Structure 1
C-alpha cells in the first residue's frame, strides 16, 4: 500500500498536470488542490479544470452551453454519484492529446471562473 506523497502523486496523470501548469504559467491566482481523485486547478478559489489519473480532464463550462459542448468529439457529461453535473464536462485523453486541444479546454474553464467572485 502506498502512503504519503508517493500515493498522492499517483492520484493523477503527472504529465497532464505539467501540461496544464504550462498553459497557466504567468497567470495569477492559481492554486492546485487534490480533489475528486485528481488534481484540480483553481482560480481565486474556483475550480476551473482537473486532471485525473487516466489522462482525462474535467472542465468547467458555461451551464447554458453544456449541451452544445457535449456535441464535440471526445466530450462526455460529467457524472458524479450517478448524476450529471451541468456546467462541467469530461474530456477524454484523445481530446487533450495535442497541446492546442488542451490549451483550448483549459482556457475555457479558466476564463469562465474569472467571471466568478473569489472564494
Structure 2
C-alpha cells in the first residue's frame, strides 16, 4: 500500500456550496437582503426599477439595479467587509462610479435611494 490519500471526486454543486460555507465569497445575510429587496419592491411598484442582479465576489457582494434588462446598472449596492472599520462596509454607487453614500449601517445607506413622498406647500 502507498501513503497517498485516495482521490475523492466531489460534484460541482457540492464543491461550490462547500466553498461558500468556508468563507470563500462575501454575501448578503438575510437581514441585509430583506432591506435591499424591500426597497427594490417599492421602486418596482413606482415603475422606476425593472431588474436586478446579485454578484458574490471574493472581496465584496454587489446588488445591481437596472431600469431595463439590457443596459448598465443604475445603482450598485455594495458590501465590502474590509472597509467596515474605516468608511463603512456598505456603499451605493452610480453607473459612473460616483459614491452616493457610504456607511456602517445598511438602512441609513439605502435612504439615499428611498424617495419618500413629502407634502410641498407654497
TM bucket by the smaller chain?
0.3 to 0.5
Larger Rg computed on CA atoms: 2
Query: As a proportion of its length, which structure holds more strand?
Result: 1
TM-score of the two chains, using structure 1 as the length reference: 0.46
- Structure of higher RCO (CA pairs closer than 8 Å, 6+ residues apart): 1
Query: As a proportion of its length, which structure holds more helix?
Result: 1
